[in-house]
Structure 1
Amino acid sequence: MDQLLGAQQKLLPEMTALLQKRYRLLMTIQLTAGIGRRALSEIVHSTERETRRELDILRAQGLIHVLANGMEITQEGNDVLDSLKNLVHEWSGLSELEKQLEKNFKLNRVIIVPGDSEKESQAKSLIGQEAAKQLEQLSKERDTVAVTGGSTIAAITNHLSVHIKPKNLVFVAARGGIGENVELQANHIASAFAAQASGTSRTLYLPDHLSETAYKTMIKEPVIKEMMDLYDHTNIVIHGIGDAKEMAKRRNSSLEELDIISEKQAVGEAFGYYFNEQGKAVHRIRTVGIQLKQLNQVKHLLAVAGGASKASAMLSYLKHAPHQTVLITDEGAAKKLTQLMSNEN
């Protein structure tokens, strides 16, 4: 198969670019039903004239409908996308990039979607779609699933009702988070996941930062002990990876804590732990939630993050990520990751 693809690319190199162009157009229409031609042109970085020409071809083939309120994909269009997915993935070089990252970080699996989620909203939606598919494949009846907060994790929500079969899953907030944007908090996301997947949820309404006295008091409370027990028996964890300084600011961290993060050269953050370029945890906030040591006991970990600017943060965490991790990211972050790794060698 690889030899055949190589021969086709050499004989008809223009075919690869054209196929990827039309595939991307069709995929964008699938993800953004009702989109107009001008908005579509901006997303795929094409002129309206070029986009109109390609859309006429897709419509003539019965792959899309052009309606008064925008465009939508047909069932035949969905079938074409499914049939071509692996081929386009191979031709774009993403399959090889996935293997490279899997080997470098010793991860269970890496899934890369096209685009850069910082520049293209559909890339973040694709990350969410792939995460939902992985959750369906890995989860079993009555599994406990812990989720963190963040916009990329929140992007999974809309895909759960499509890809998740009812399994009585229990979605647990992996941490508190009072003070952040409510819709991006783990509590809100756990509840939203449960609603979309026909499951139940358990929330943790505690501040992100606790004093030592408050922490020692809170962990003795029965409801907190119950949550900690749930973490010990969690089957799947879905989490993001954040930029250290950005996450510290979102938490309204004190100037003292910001100085510590800067002084210790932290670049990445996950689960309230801050990591330096070598992947060492150099600082952590005192919070009730799932802890790093508990991750090694979890059967499946889904690390979800994207965007080229997140690559340094991702690199710092992935250097010591548990081997059962499935990384779901985008092309922008993946290519920047390989560049950073190359610079270290």
Structure 2
Amino acid sequence: MVAVVTKRYQILQYVSWMEPVGRRSLADQMHVSERIMRTDIDFLRQQGLLDSSKSGVVLTARGRDVFTSMDQFMNEMLGVQDSEKQLAERLGIDHVLIVPGDADQSARVLDDMGTALAQTMQVMLPLGEQIIAVMGGTTLARAASRMNFQLSAGRELTFVPARGGVGETVAIQANSVAAAMAQSTGGTYRVLYIPENVSEETYQPLLNEPSVKEVLALIDKSSVVIHSVGEALAMAERRRMSDDILQLLRDHHAVAEAFGTFFDAAGNVVYKIPKIGLRIKDLDQIPYVFAIAGGQSKAQAIQAYMQHAPKQTWLITDAGAAQSILMG
């Protein structure tokens, strides 16, 4: 997939240098057949990034904006590609993007990871209807502010919370993140109001509520998932979990949390919060899965969770976490 992103960026780059340019000239420049180039140009034209005439292929106004916004990002991405390949291989997933810096040292790095997420989605997501299931958390709340209306051009975006409500600050709950992403992109959103830390006997009747059933049906149809990976004890404390659960997590040396599941460093499941919505095993059937987490302090958590992540996962992280994992 990284190769696909790179190729599409390079097509935009060559067109910006040579426009109007013929399809055969582009194919020669990129050392591919004219048939393959036609397929790529057709895709970019459907995205509204290129236009064709008798004179040749040119960038549209939107294509110029997208190319400009991608330029610095792609230069950085191509510069660290070796590290990304090494990290992807180490974690057993197909895709890794690394942004410079360490989120532990500067919150600005969270914004850069959010920008990388938005740009990757812009290039990779098909046109048409896309249901995007999102988790909560500070990282995703920051990522929401980096999205823009370009993502919804040619796409009908619906954002839904991936799981029921959690005991966090309202601004970073999944419902709030879904709403913020919808506002940033011009999409729509749905909310799922399910209380945290209730018994199965309590939440089972909620499954029959029409509003809950509607959102759960959308979650089941989601084609995109965006989530983060948290440090186990920090997540448990932020969710105000009981002292007994906190002690259990300490006793079992939990280091990571994702989708309400806590893991030790070896990837063993330590504890699960009974919740409604997506589970980790559901991710195998979802085409586009984006995990965004950074900072050296999250390196161990990322490694623990990635033992359960589906292979098609895109991990968007920073140099602080990446170097810690690769040198560990």
* Local SS of the residue matching 1:269: strand
Structure 1 contact 169–200 (Cα < 8 Å) conserved: yes
Q: 2:143: which partner in 1?
A: 156
CA distance in structure 2 between the aligned counterparts of 1:122 and 1:96, rounded to whole angstroms: 24
1:326 aligned residue: 314
**In the TM superposition, what whole-angstrom CA distance separates every residue of 1:222-261 from its partner, at most 9, and x where no partner exists?**
3323322222211000000000001101111011111221
The structural deviation recorded for 1:331 is 0.5
1:79 Cα deviation after fit: 8.8
Find out whether 1:121 has 2:107 as its counterpart: yes
Distance in 2 (CA, whole Å) between partners of 1:88 and 1:265 is 36
Is contact 1:236-1:299 (8 Å) kept? yes
2:94 is the alignment partner of 1:105: no
What amino acid sits opposite 1:142 in the alignment? E
The 2-side partners of 1:282 and 1:227 are apart by 29
Alignment check: 8 A CA contact 1:243 1:268 kept:
yes
After TM superposition, the structure 1 = structure 2 runs for residues 225-236 of structure 1, keeping only pairs within 5 Å, are 225-236=213-224
> CA, structure 1 residues 174+107, in 2 after alignment: closer, same or farther (shift >3 Å)?
same
CA contact (8 A) 1:147 1:174 kept: yes
Question: Which deviations, in whole Å up to 9, do the C-alpha atoms of 1:179-201 show, x marking residues without a partner?
Answer: 31111111011011111111110
1:142–1:168: 8 Å Cα contact kept in structure 2?
yes
| Alpha carbons of structure 1 residues 235 and 87: separation in structure 2 relative to 1, 3 Å | closer
1:188 maps to amino acid: S
Cα pair 1:215 1:286 within 8 Å, conserved: no
Q: Which structure 2 residue ranges, 5 or more long, are not aligned?
A: 1-65
Asked if the contact 1:180/1:250 (under 8 Å) is kept, the reply is yes
For residue 267 of structure 1, what is the aligned residue in structure 2? 255
**2:208 aligned residue (220, 230, 243):** 220
Find out whether 1:176 has 2:160 as its counterpart: no
CA contact (8 A) 1:133 1:163 kept: no
Distance in 2, matches of 1:88 and 1:159, equals 18
Q: Deviations over 1:42-64 (max 9, x none)?
A: xxxxxxxxxxxxxxxxxxxxxxx
1:275–1:281 contact (8 Å) kept in structure 2:
yes
Q: Provide closer, same or farther for how the CA distance between residues 83 and 300 of structure 1 changes in structure 2, counting only shifts above 3 A.
A: closer
Aligned residue identity for 2:107: S
Structure 1 residue 86, shift from structure 2 partner? 5.0
Is the 2:249–2:271 Cα contact (8 Å) retained in structure 1? yes
The secondary structure found in structure 1 opposite 2:277 is coil
Aligned partner of 1:141: which letter? G
Deviations 1:162-220 (A, max 9, x none): 64133220100112335311111110110111111111101112222111211222223
- Tell me the TM-score normalised to structure 1 length: 0.71
Q: Is the 2:73–2:116 contact (alpha carbons within 8 Å) kept by the matching residues of 1?
A: no
Q: CA RMSD in A?
A: 2.1
1:15 aligned partner: none
Whether the aligned pair in 1 keeps the contact of 2:145 and 2:180 (CA below 8 Å) is no
Equivalent-residue separation in structure 2 for 1:259 and 1:212 (angstroms) = 22
Bigger mean CA offset, 197-206 vs 223-232: 223-232
**Worse-superposed segment, 162-171 or 317-326:** 162-171
SS in structure 2 at match of 1:205: coil
For each residue in 1:263-293, what CA deviation from the matched residue of structure 2 results, as whole angstroms up to 9, or x when unmatched? 2221100000111111122210011121122
In structure 2, the residue matched to 1:96 is 82
Aligned counterpart, 1:312: 300
The one of 125, 145, 165 equivalent to 2:152 is 165
Q: Match for 1:177: what amino acid? A: G
Number of equivalences: 261
Answer yes or no: is 1:198 the counterpart of 2:186: yes
Q: Does 1:335 align with 2:299?
A: no
**2:128 paired with 1:141:** yes
Kindly provide the amino acid, as one letter, of the partner of residue 109 in structure 1: H
Find the partner of 2:269 among 255, 268, 281.
281
**Residue matched to 1:37:** none
Whether the 8 Å CA contact 1:178–1:205 is kept in 2: the answer is: no
Identity of aligned residues (%): 36
Between 271-280 and 241-250, report the one with greater CA deviation.
271-280
1:251 is the counterpart of 2:236: no
Query: Does the 8 Å contact 2:84/2:98 carry over to 1?
Result: yes
Residues 157 and 87 of structure 1, relative CA distance in 2, 3 Å threshold: closer
What amino acid is aligned across from residue 262 of structure 1 in structure 2?
Answer: R
